[in-house]
Structure 1
Amino acid sequence: MLSALFGRLARMPEAQEALPGRDEPIPTAEFHFLSGLPLKSPVPNGMEEAMFGMGCFWGVERKFWQVDGVWLTMVGYAAGITPNPTYQETCTGRTGHNEVVRVIYDPDVVSYEDLLKVFWEGHDPTQGNRQGNDIGTQYRSGIYTYTAAQAEAAETSRAFYAERLKAAGYGPITTEIAPAGTFYFAEDYHQQYLAKNPGGYCGVGGTGVSCPIGLPDARA
């Protein structure tokens, strides 16, 4: 309905075009559906956080909760303009937000470079504002960093992977790399969606091109 009222933008909105949003966060789940951990747990001592956008966040979250060393995952909206957006608002393209997964992980078990391997190999980062049949700016490829070290690792991996993709016949990478900014939780039903709905749709798919950083089998 909001798409009918406001139309859908096929580009990032200017500030004056963005929906107003709201002052208060929208309701979300209290606990992770699989682990039972409080979804809004603070990052434990010794753990770190990461954030990625790589298409429909249902399938993306599943990729990361399956990784050893990942302690907690959650889906939401980031890298846009509208405060506390809803899913329906984000789908209009008039919030500027991306569908993202925030990952809390133990760096003694899984490195940030290993997570980047999951990111690059788990989607097609050359498609611009789409991922497969899912079209819109909320499906763009993005790495949202929390530290200078993460930003450097992201930039380095993008350069390496661009060469691999080019050799395989793919076009330029369109992935944006930017500071994480504010993460807004998505609604309750989106959290761990494919664990609640195992047969649910997931339009996220990789290129089949291995990433030359991260896990040992990717360095060959």
Structure 2
Amino acid sequence: MILDPSRALPGRNTPLSFSGVHAVNGCSMLPPFPAEHAVIVLGLGCFWGAERLFWQLPGVYVTAVGYAGGITPNPTYEETCTGLTGHTEVVQVVYDPATLPLVELLRVFWEAHDPTQGMRQGNDIGSQYRSAIYTTDDAQLAEAERSREAYQRSLTRAGKGDITTEIAPLTAFYYAEEYHQQYLHKQPGGYCGLKGTGVSCPIG
């Protein structure tokens, strides 16, 4: 448990207000999504650069940034940054497995950040920047765990540390505020902290 529930901020019953329309491709960020598409939620540090990485992948239908893995319902960005919601910054990725197999999506995930850093990503420090994979079915969970084992072997051979990525079934995804959605499309010169280990992931 990242946070003692008794210390968690109360949050709110009402979701944060936002348009629900993806600023890059015009698709709805809200369900229902097209048939035969799958959903996975990924955390790899600050969600601005992470979302741009995923919306550019062929086979991704739509992305949205938000908060997951914690306790506080419908948290704000400011609340999440206190560490008292238990959430990490994440990207919800809706993708077509026929075009973009999960194993390939996971390879991109592992190679785009350093999953050995615990409660940080580079200079971004705090539980809201921890690495995480939140799955929406049993097959995704098993595939994610296999990919972690495969990447750990490569990292160990390269002299890197142990993966700290949290892998668990998704319990809730809370959409972030409108200004965070597709932030680097709206602010092309904005901050992007993505930086991998330089070690290739032997999957996909």
Question: Does TM, scored on the shorter chain, surpass 0.5?
Answer: yes
CA distance in 2 between counterparts of 1:29 and 1:88 reads 20
Give the alignment partner of residue 139 of structure 1, picking from 114, 117, 129. 129
Deviation of the 1:30 alpha carbon: 2.6
Asked if 1:31 is matched to 2:26, the reply is no
Deviation of the 1:184 alpha carbon: 0.3
**C-alpha RMSD of matched pairs (Å):** 1.0
CA distance in 2 between counterparts of 1:82 and 1:174 reads 22
CA distance in 1 between counterparts of 2:20 and 2:40 reads 20
CA distance in 2 between counterparts of 1:43 and 1:210 reads 32
| Paired residues of 2:28 and 2:62 also in contact (CA < 8 A) | no
Which piece of structure 1 moves more, 37-46 or 117-126?
Answer: 37-46
Give the alignment partner of residue 95 of structure 2, picking from 83, 88, 105. 105
Deviation of the 1:121 alpha carbon: 0.3
CA distance in 2 between counterparts of 1:66 and 1:205 reads 17
| Paired residues of 1:29 and 1:191 also in contact (CA < 8 A) | no
The number of residues matched between the two structures is 204
User: In structure 2, what is the equivalent of residue 18 of structure 1?
Assistant: 8
Question: TM-score w.r.t. structure 1 length?
Answer: 0.91
| Paired residues of 1:12 and 1:93 also in contact (CA < 8 A) | no
| Paired residues of 1:144 and 1:179 also in contact (CA < 8 A) | yes
- Work out which of the two has the higher radius of gyration on C-alpha atoms and give 1 or 2: 1
CA distance in 1 between counterparts of 2:33 and 2:168 reads 21
| Matched-pair identity in % | 59
User: In structure 2, what is the equivalent of residue 119 of structure 1?
Assistant: 109
CA distance in 2 between counterparts of 1:127 and 1:160 reads 18
Give the alignment partner of residue 171 of structure 2, picking from 175, 181, 191. 181
CA distance in 2 between counterparts of 1:39 and 1:140 reads 23
CA distance in 2 between counterparts of 1:29 and 1:195 reads 16
Deviations, residues 44-69 of structure 1 (Å, cap 9, x unaligned): 11111111001000011011011100
CA distance in 2 between counterparts of 1:73 and 1:131 reads 21
CA distance in 1 between counterparts of 2:93 and 2:20 reads 16
Asked if 1:81 is matched to 2:71, the reply is yes
Deviation of the 1:41 alpha carbon: 3.7
Q: What is the identity, as a one-letter code, of the residue corresponding to 2:84? A: R
Deviations, residues 96-155 of structure 1 (Å, cap 9, x unaligned): 001000011111100011110011000000000000010000100001011111111111
Identify unmatched segments of 5+ residues in structure 1.
1-10, 215-220
> Deviation above 6 Å: which 4+ runs of structure 1?
none
Q: What is the identity, as a one-letter code, of the residue corresponding to 1:189? A: Y
CA distance in 2 between counterparts of 1:120 and 1:193 reads 22
Secondary structure of the equivalent of 2:153?
helix
Q: What is the identity, as a one-letter code, of the residue corresponding to 1:35? A: N
Question: TM-score w.r.t. structure 2 length?
Answer: 0.98
| Paired residues of 2:83 and 2:128 also in contact (CA < 8 A) | yes
| Paired residues of 2:67 and 2:173 also in contact (CA < 8 A) | yes
Secondary structure of the equivalent of 1:77?
strand
